[in-house]
Amino acid sequence: MNIDDMVMVSIDDHVVEPRDIFEKHFPKNLM
The SS3 call for residue 6 is coil
Summarize pLDDT for 1-31 with one digit per residue, the tens. Answer: 788 888 887 777 666 777 887 788 777 787 7
Q: Where are the domains of the chain?
A: 1-31
Q: What are the φ/ψ torsions at residue 3 (nearest 5 degrees)?
A: -60, -30
pLDDT of amino acid 14: 64
CA–CA separation, 31 vs 1, rounded Å?
A: 48
**What integer best gives the mean pLDDT of the chain?**
78
Would the pTM count as exceeding 0.75? no
Kindly write down the DSSP assignment for every residue of 4-30, as one continuous string.
GG-----S---TTS-TTHHHHHS-GGG
